[in-house]
Amino acid sequence: MNVSTMDEKFLKATEVVCKQGMFPFPVNDTTLAIMRIAVGENPEELEFFTAFAEKPSQTLEELKQTSGLEGDKIEALASSLAAKGFIFNQPNSSGVMVYRLLPLMNVGLMEYLFMGPLKGDEREKELAELFERLLKEVRDGVQQNYDQLLPLFESSPPVDRTVPARTTETGERIRVISLDKSVEVPDEFVLPSQSVEEIIEKFDDIAVGHCFCRQRQKTLGNPCATDAPVLNCFTFGKSARHTTAQGFAKMITKEEALRIMKEAEEAGLVHKAFHPGANVNRPETSICNCCKDCCDTLNIWRNGAMPLVNSTYHLSVVDPEACSGCGTCEEKCPTEAIQVNEEGIAQVTADYCFGCGVCARFCPEEAISLKEGLRKVFIPPPRLR
């Protein structure tokens, strides 16, 4: 097969993959380089991507029509691309196998590539550097078109949901201020699980992998500043079955999951839950345990590439009489939502608080409570130019 033909196949495959997810990615030298390394010189796999051009999720019968291939060949190609982090292949609730093409990131290729044990080879380093370059290119594009993109960002659904810490560093329950019953909520709204214990109890299949953010940053030569534990990226249900089938994670018991979650809270990590289609009324698919300095969601926001869009049911509230102004909360807050003011009292900027409870957990005076109330937190990316 000549080079020009392979170049065309890579281009067409990259065009299809870059359209997936909540935000499309540019088709350029960076994304083409990612595809070349992640897929390899495999013309059949490259051609298979084009079957998903119009519909990213398909059954086997649908793929026979869009790909023109027989069932055995489809299953072989899909299995190979699933192992590479491109396809999610699990049965739906009716038991019918569905093949879904994943995006380059959030949650897709980048996350799965760095979720398993690291090999420490040049391939991992090159991919980590390419994804970092892609994020910088996205940032530049957003900054150049900031005013036009901001309304689109504001209307976007939450990417994830914050599940708060429930106890202080000494093991005491964090005080929760109950929702005012006069506040109206939609009739169809069902309060999702507000503790990691409730979430874990729902599922028989629980898998844990490595934090892909901390692993990618380590590959880039940026080890976690807080030395946070790494093996605490959870998937549930069919997501757990998928990640373990591909070697990205391993199955664990509920008891092991609770122990790991407790370890994450002790390290000051933030529980971020993900739901299918960002619909919090559907069961969780995964939980990330995020540190302040490595988390891609936080870094992409801070660096001006994307907004932070989150669903939460809590807001930090400071008791000014109890606050000593020590600054622990300011140091721990992942979104810079709480700061000690000129009067020496911690003050919360509600628009920036996604109710993780980390400030309340580590407050030595127990001066911070969590106030209930469903909120969408939207923090625009900083304007850099």
pLDDT more than 70, % of the chain: 96
Q: Which helix (H) or strand (E) holds 160?
A: strand 160-163
Instruction: Using the predicted structure, report yes or no on whether residue 163 has a pLDDT greater than 50.
Output: yes
Supply the pLDDT for residue 42.
93
pLDDT tier, 198 (very low <50, low <70, confident <90, very high otherwise): very high
269 burial type by CB count under 10 A (0-12 exposed, 13-18 middle, 19+ buried): buried
Instruction: Using the predicted structure, report yes or no on whether residue 181 has a pLDDT greater than 60.
Output: no
pLDDT tens per residue across span 272-312: 999 987 788 889 999 999 999 999 999 999 999 999 999 99
- Mean pLDDT is lowest, of 183-187, 240-244, 355-359, for 183-187
Instruction: Using the predicted structure, report yes or no on whether residue 209 has a pLDDT greater than 60.
Output: yes
What letter does residue 173 receive in the DSSP assignment?
B
Instruction: Using the predicted structure, report yes or no on whether residue 3 has a pLDDT greater than 50.
Output: no
pLDDT tier, 183 (very low <50, low <70, confident <90, very high otherwise): very low
Instruction: Using the predicted structure, report yes or no on whether residue 182 has a pLDDT greater than 90.
Output: no
According to DSSP, the residues that pair with 208 across neighbouring strands are: 234, 250
In this prediction, residues 96-111 reach a mean pLDDT of 95
Supply the pLDDT for residue 187.
53
In this prediction, residues 56-65 reach a mean pLDDT of 97
Instruction: Using the predicted structure, report yes or no on whether residue 363 has a pLDDT greater than 90.
Output: yes
Q: Quick check: 137 and 116 in contact, CB under 8 A?
A: no
Alpha helices in 159-272 (DSSP H): 196-202, 212-219, 237-245, 254-266
**Separation of alpha carbons 272 and 193, rounded Å:** 12
Torsion-angle region of 193 (φ positive above 0: left; ψ -120 to 50: alpha; else: beta): beta
Supply the pLDDT for residue 22.
82
Q: What's this model's pTM, rounded to 2 decimal places? A: 0.91
In this prediction, residues 166-175 reach a mean pLDDT of 92
Supply the pLDDT for residue 282.
87
Supply the pLDDT for residue 277.
79
Supply the pLDDT for residue 116.
94
Supply the pLDDT for residue 280.
81
pLDDT tier, 106 (very low <50, low <70, confident <90, very high otherwise): confident
According to DSSP, the residues that pair with 97 across neighbouring strands are: 91
In the chain, what are the domains? 3-147 (1.10.10.10), 148-379 (no CATH)
In this prediction, residues 70-76 reach a mean pLDDT of 96
